[in-house]
């Protein structure tokens, strides 16, 4: 049951149970037939009398690669599922130590299995959707994402079963469409969203980016052209993992006018690179100094395809924009804030989650959250083969193991 990717049972597997990165300890599991033979070749117990390894009895010793000691480790031998021997090696959590242990084990004949594969194959699962849930949980970056995924594990297949059993094909398709309507937001909650901040120099883009992220990442100064290249910072807004990209402003440095020392070609390249990077964003924030009239030059603000929020910053200094000037920018919405003072930022955060399709209360939300799920459901909801719907839902969308 649910052992895709873990076939060819003759080869022992190495899995990293702790997250990749530096930690106080790392736990590396070696499991599978012959794992005990392989392990004994590398492990040298401190106490000779303890050479026989017993399940659940912790042993202390050295892990060696040939003559070279790799690390002092604690080992917990277990018997997984009643048959396969398995060793949880608790080592020091430095990157190099982990790398050397994994290398020594793979050189000795074990196969390294990635975290995603482990989650998708070694947790009990009876369907593709359940495996996708485990896999997504290994990457979940916020508590809200974890809660959402844990709920989907049973709620999503249950809802799909209900739809499959709907006698009337038209209502089944309508119910699928309702699931699909929430799916872009669900996907962003699991994968994270990217927000790009653009606008003229000195509008307060970097101040706003830092406010959103909650730490001083981008350099802020009264001198136009302070941000020379795009800066990406990780944060979470309303429980949604987000990457905030602060970009250099377009303007005098790049379009005639006075050139700074870093102006001219270099600045033009930087602006082009920032545009490229922000083209893939899920949302654009266009920031202007709202206490000044809109800049005279015509800049196309709303980009085709990417939702855009107009932010009129420096509200503490007043507002010079007329309603007509706001509307001329043709953005999804407009909001006045003071990034420096922190005014109205909670409303801005709410607007952002609303535009990204994440303004639902989590309780009871059921949604498709992987590209595969969305693709299969979209096809089902669109194609005119309605008599097939229940079968495709069970076999392809839920992907029940047979």
Ligand X SMILES: Nc1nc2c(ncn2[C@@H]2O[C@H](COP(=O)(O)OP(=O)(O)O)[C@@H](O)[C@H]2O)c(=O)[nH]1
Question: Binding residues for ligand X, per CB under 6 A?
Answer: 201-207, 220-222, 226-227, 249, 313-314, 316-317, 338-340
CB 313, min distance to ligand X, A: 5
CB 206, min distance to ligand X, A: 3
Give the angle 391-396-400 at the CA atoms, nearest 5°: 85
The pattern of x and - marking residues 182 through 221 that bind Mg ion according to CB under 5 A reads -----------------------xx---------------
Of 104 and 281, the one with the shorter C-beta distance to ligand X is 281
Of 288 and 369, the one with the shorter C-beta distance to Mg ion is 288
Of 206 and 338, the one with the shorter C-beta distance to Mg ion is 206
Closest-CB residue for Mg ion? 227
Pick the stretch among 183-191, 227-235, 274-282, 298-306 that binds Mg ion (CB under 5 A).
227-235
CB 273, min distance to ligand X, A: 16
18 with 27: CB under 8 angstroms? yes
Of 186 and 339, the one with the shorter C-beta distance to ligand X is 339
342 with 101: CB under 8 angstroms? no
Residue 270 CB partners (closer than 8 Å, separation 6+): 228, 229, 230, 248
Of 121 and 227, the one with the shorter C-beta distance to Mg ion is 227
Of 345 and 381, the one with the shorter C-beta distance to ligand X is 345
Q: Count the alpha carbons within 13 Å of 281 in the hemisphere toward its beta carbon.
A: 32
Our finding on whether 313 is near Mg ion (CB under 5 A) is: no
Q: In 3D, which of 238, 242, 244 has the Cα closest to residue 359?
A: 238
Other C-beta atoms lying within 10 Å of the C-beta of residue 256: 8
Q: Which SS3 state, helix, strand or coil, does residue 283 take?
A: strand
Closest-CB residue for ligand X? 204
Edge-to-edge strand list for the sheet holding 193-198? 231-237, 240-246, 193-198, 283-289, 308-313, 333-336
Q: Which does 131 bind (CB under 5 to 8 A by kind): Mg ion, ligand X, none?
A: none
What is the Rg, in whole angstroms, of the alpha carbon atoms belonging to the chain?
A: 27
Our finding on whether 247 is near Mg ion (CB under 5 A) is: no
CB 312, min distance to Mg ion, A: 17
Q: Which does 338 bind (CB under 5 to 8 A by kind): ligand X, Mg ion, none?
A: ligand X
Q: Which does 13 bind (CB under 5 to 8 A by kind): ligand X, Mg ion, none?
A: none
Our finding on whether 278 is near Mg ion (CB under 5 A) is: no
CB 280, min distance to ligand X, A: 21
User: Which token pair is 235?
Assistant: 């944060």
CB 345, min distance to ligand X, A: 10
Per CB under 5 A, contacts with Mg ion among 120-149 are none
User: Which token pair is 32?
Assistant: 């599978």
Of 199 and 390, the one with the shorter C-beta distance to ligand X is 199
Q: In 3D, which of 322, 98, 335, 94 has the Cα closest to residue 208?
A: 335
Rounded CA-CA distance 18/90 in Å is: 10
240 with 192: CB under 8 angstroms? yes
Of 206 and 308, the one with the shorter C-beta distance to Mg ion is 206
User: Which token pair is 384?
Assistant: 């005119």
Rounded CA-CA distance 144/225 in Å is: 37
């Amino acid at each position: 049951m649910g052992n895709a990717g873990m076939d060819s049972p003759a080869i022992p597997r190495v899995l990293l149970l702790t997250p990749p990165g530096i930690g106080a300890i790392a736990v590396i599991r070696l499991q599978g037939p012959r794992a005990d033979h392989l392990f004994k070749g590398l492990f040298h117990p401190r106490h000779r009398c303890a050479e026989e390894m017993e399940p659940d009895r912790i042993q202390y010793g050295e892990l060696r690669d040939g003559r070279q000691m790799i690390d002092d480790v604690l080992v917990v031998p277990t018997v997984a599922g009643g048959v396969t021997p398995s060793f949880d090696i608790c080592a020091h959590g430095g990157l190099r130590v982990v790398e050397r242990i994994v290398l020594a084990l793979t050189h000795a004949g074990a196969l390294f299995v990635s975290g995603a594969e482990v989650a998708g194959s070694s947790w009990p699962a009876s369907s593709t959707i359940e495996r996708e849930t485990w896999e997504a949980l290994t990457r979940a970056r916020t508590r809200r994402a974890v809660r959402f995924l844990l709920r989907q594990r049973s709620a999503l297949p249950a809802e799909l079963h209900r739809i499959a059993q709907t006698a009337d094909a038209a209502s089944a398709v309508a119910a699928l469409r309702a699931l699909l309507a929430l799916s872009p937001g669900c996907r962003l909650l699991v994968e994270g969203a990217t927000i790009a901040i653009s606008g003229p120099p000195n509008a307060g883009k970097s101040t706003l980016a830092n406010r959103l992220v909650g730490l001083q990442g981008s350099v802020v100064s009264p001198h136009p052209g302070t941000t020379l290249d795009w800066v990406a910072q990780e944060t979470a807004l309303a429980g949604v993992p987000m990457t905030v990209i602060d970009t250099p402003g377009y303007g005098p440095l790049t379009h005639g006018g006075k050139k700074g020392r870093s102006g001219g070609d270099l600045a033009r390249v930087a602006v082009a690179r920032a545009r490229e990077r922000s083209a893939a964003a899920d949302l654009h924030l266009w920031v202007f100094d709202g206490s000044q009239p809109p800049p005279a030059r015509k800049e196309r603000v709303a980009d085709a395809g990417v939702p855009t929020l107009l932010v009129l910053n420096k509200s503490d200094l007043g507002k010079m924009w007329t309603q007509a000037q706001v509307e001329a920018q043709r953005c999804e919405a407009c909001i006045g804030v003071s990034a420096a003072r922190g005014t109205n930022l909670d409303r801005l955060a709410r607007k952002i989650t609303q535009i990204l399709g994440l303004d639902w209360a989590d309780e009871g939300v059921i949604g498709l959250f992987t590209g595969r799920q969305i693709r299969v459901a979209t096809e089902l909801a669109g194609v005119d083969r309605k008599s097939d719907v229940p079968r495709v839902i069970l076999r392809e969308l839920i992907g029940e193991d047979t």
